[in-house]
Structure 1
Amino acid sequence: MSGDDARLRAWAYLAAVAEPPCTPLIALAERIGPEDAAQLIRARRLPAGGLLEATEARAGIDTAAEDLQTCAKIGARLVTRDDDDWPAWSLLALDRAGSAARAGAPLALWVRGPGPLTGLGDRAVSVVGSRAASSYGDYVAGRLSGELAARDRVVLSGGAYGIDGAAHRGALAAGGSTAAILACGIDRDYPSGHAGLLAEIARTGLVISEYAPGTTAAKYRFLTRNRLVAALAGAVVVVEAGRRSGAANTAAWARGLGRPLGAVPGPVTSATSVGCHQLIADGEAALVTDADAVLALIEPDGHDNHRPSAPRPLDGLAPDQLKVIEALPARGALGIDEIAFVSGLPTAGVRAALAMLEVEGLIDGASGRWSLRPAGLTGPRDVT
């Protein structure tokens, strides 16, 4: 076995020997290297408490070779801190999260798909929400993700039913890239009903897990996984969320890690939008409705969220000119004295305004009577 193979097997052993995240395990591997760290753990030559207890149940079980073989069969790979593709910058916020429950960066990541992990970060947007999504939530998540993918953003989510699935499908339908982060082994399709979707994601994007092959999904692993959904993206958007939900947990991670957070408003009668409305009302999330608003979260100084409206014929007119336009009827014509009476302007002011409006092509004058041009305006109601 070559030195590189032995080192990769040591990383694979460490990735399975303790339930992640395990900060003491990472510290040991970085201090003395993965091979020596694995040897100490197998020999149980560790100080009492801490890492000794965290590795007690699995220290004698070494499935590293089998795990790497499983990965090879399904087209997956183990990305470690030795690799250029390790997303160190994105995960730095987890190392700084302190003693928060489930905080800390992963030791390694199991990855399926051709996309680079370092291509996430600010280029990625996490779109998350309720598993029991409404038709409204499915539509918004799919549309928003398609818009983001069309603008060369990676749509990141958790591969679950509901909003997650709609987000992935929306990105794929737009011909874009998407990534799913699992709460189980990289060789498992969870939920099973999304096996085809996860295979399509892996074909063009990324399927990611910090759990070794064979690891089953569990509720606490979903909560642990959520920190990666927040950390690996430049912003997090919650499309639908109940008062207590996994999406709300991901939103909490986004706030804790300093990631911009957006929430999509929904019907006030919808239980699946209560969490979004609360985030917006509390000032914890920005209200977003489209890709422009989301990109403004990531690029606050370089992206204009306010698209200009189409110019109207009355834009730029002087106040007297607007008053004259308002005085003219939708049909028929008025003389100068009649326009002056309706508008309240002096006759001289009416004459000057009429001259400018005729130059602009907004009115017609014939036999001393003035009317709106049919091709320009349909009446005073267009002023508002």
Structure 2
Amino acid sequence: MTRLQQAAGRSAVEFAAVRTGGEPTLEAFARAVLGLVAEPGDGVLGRVVGAIGAIDTAESLLAGRSAADLVERVVGAGGDLDEREATAGLDRWSPRLDHGSFIRSLTQAARVGAVLLTPADPAWPRGVDELHVHAPLGLWVRGRADALSSAHSTIALVGARAATGYGEHVAMEASAGLVDRGFTVVSGGAYGIDGMAHRAALASDGTTVAFLAGGVDRFYPLGHESLLARIVQTGAVVSELPCGTAPTKWRFLQRNRLIAAASEATVVLEAGTRSGSLNTAGHAAALGRPLGAVPGPVTSPASAGCHRLLREFDAVCVVDADQMAELAGGGNGTGIGRRPALGSSDGAGRSPDADRTIGTGSDDPTGVRMLDALSTRTPRELSDVARRAGLSVPEAMSTLGRFEAEGIVERRPSGWLRRRAG
């Protein structure tokens, strides 16, 4: 019996209590394990899984196989992995192999009635496969598991949290009009534009899907707990992160790639120059998906991001539900074809500049993850910071050294502390 089979046996009761897209399988169990050990969008893990499969990958981690052995397996299967990448990857993933945490996550998933979807399930949203090695290993869903299946036309409506009355009015009209045309409205569940898009879809008896940056057992933001609970009744709340996982800035940025990939088109309704919705637009453009932007008053800082999309990034100007539906193919799921990607592609379905092209403040992904992992009140040891960030200890040490020189963090006898701003 393999280590993975032994682990599945130890977790059989908890895993059996989790509804899945089909019968619980060793493949689904392996993907649940891998989802626990890696941060979203880990391209190295994606390459390993793509070459040798989720079961063999999880077995390699549980059995404590060496970096050299992992490289031999991946290369032997026709994949691409060098020993340096394998060593760094194992250093990131292995500290998170915690059976107790896994059991608690499965228990929480069962408690809230979560569904684990894998790529083998008919309800799997095929659009996310275009993320290639950055695609999610699995998706945890509360609500209708088929809400994002290819049988439905989908469109993402995103925008600023600090929305104006103008932006919320446009979002309300657009969302209601799109569900009347048969679209499923996809967004991020946040305050402002996202929340209005979800509420208008529900008010029009339509289907809406919210992607979260943490586990589906802990609705975020807290002020939208009742809204997200309503979405579960007729649509779905989705996350690639296991239950019990807290949202972080890095996970919000990675969540945005799923919003873009799961939708036939993305429309930015209102956004300032630093809005996170521009990150979603960057992912849509990198995937070659239709991208629309709604113009606003030229004097409004809340629309400056939309105007930049129109001026510099070839977004299509859209002003109502008819034009948004046309952008996405009219509601029949056909789309209007792929748009040229902004910037060069890394061959993995995602531009290397997807986070930087439009300037959303994510110029240093590793730095973002490190700051997420640090506390401003409690010093944390280096190994703990690295585990929380999903990085190897050498990677964490390098970034902390740079941050210390810049005065962003400080080292104390008991560990590392993030300095308070100001």
Give the TM-score normalised by the residue count of structure 1.
0.72
Q: Any conservation in 1 of the 2:147–2:207 contact (CA below 8 Å)?
A: no
Query: What's the secondary structure of 1:196's corresponding residue?
Result: helix
C-alpha distance in 2 between matches for 1:275 and 1:28: 37
Change (3 A) 1:15 1:33: same
Residue in structure 2 matched with residue 321 of structure 1 by the alignment: none
For 1:74, which of 102, 112, 131 is the aligned residue? 112
- Which range is displaced more, 45-54 or 15-24? 45-54
For 1:244, which of 274, 277, 294 is the aligned residue? 274
Q: Deviations over 1:299-344 (max 9, x none)?
A: 28999xxxxxxxxxxxxxxxxxxxxxxxxxxxxxxxxxxxxxxxxx
Please list every run of 5 or more consecutive structure 2 residues that lacks an aligned counterpart in the other structure: 1-8, 13-22, 68-85, 335-422
- One-letter amino acid matched to 1:13: V
Query: What's the secondary structure of 1:165's corresponding residue?
Result: helix
Return the index of the structure with the highest Cα Rg. 1
Q: Any conservation in 1 of the 2:108–2:244 contact (CA below 8 Å)?
A: no
1:129-148 equivalent positions in 2, closer than 5 A: 129-148=159-178
Q: Any conservation in 2 of the 1:149–1:155 contact (CA below 8 Å)?
A: yes
C-alpha distance in 1 between matches for 2:277 and 2:180: 24
1:18-97 equivalent positions in 2, closer than 5 A: 18-47=38-67, 48-61=86-99, 63-87=101-125, 89-95=126-132
For 1:9, which of 11, 25, 29 is the aligned residue? 29
Residue in structure 1 matched with residue 139 of structure 2 by the alignment: 109
1:222 equivalent in alignment to 2:252 = yes
Query: What's the secondary structure of 2:119's corresponding residue?
Result: coil
Q: Deviations over 1:82-117 (max 9, x none)?
A: 322222x3023211xxxxxxx711111111111415
Shift of 1:36: 3.4
1:1-384 equivalent positions in 2, closer than 5 A: 1=9, 4=24, 6-47=26-67, 48-61=86-99, 63-87=101-125, 89-95=126-132, 104-119=134-149, 123-282=153-312, 284-299=314-329
Query: What's the secondary structure of 1:208's corresponding residue?
Result: strand
Residue in structure 2 matched with residue 355 of structure 1 by the alignment: none
Query: What's the secondary structure of 1:63's corresponding residue?
Result: helix
Shift of 1:254: 1.0
C-alpha distance in 2 between matches for 1:119 and 1:72: 23
Shift of 1:137: 0.6
Q: Deviations over 1:255-311 (max 9, x none)?
A: 1111101111111121110111121123521111111101111228999xxxxxxxx
Query: What's the secondary structure of 1:15's corresponding residue?
Result: helix
Change (3 A) 1:117 1:16: farther
C-alpha distance in 2 between matches for 1:122 and 1:260: 17
Give the TM-score normalised by the residue count of structure 2.
0.65
Q: Any conservation in 2 of the 1:122–1:298 contact (CA below 8 Å)?
A: no
Change (3 A) 1:22 1:290: same
Shift of 1:133: 0.3
C-alpha distance in 1 between matches for 2:321 and 2:195: 18
Change (3 A) 1:120 1:81: closer
Shift of 1:218: 0.7
Q: Deviations over 1:189-223 (max 9, x none)?
A: 10000000000111100111011111111111111
CA RMSD in angstroms comes to 2.4
Shift of 1:70: 1.6
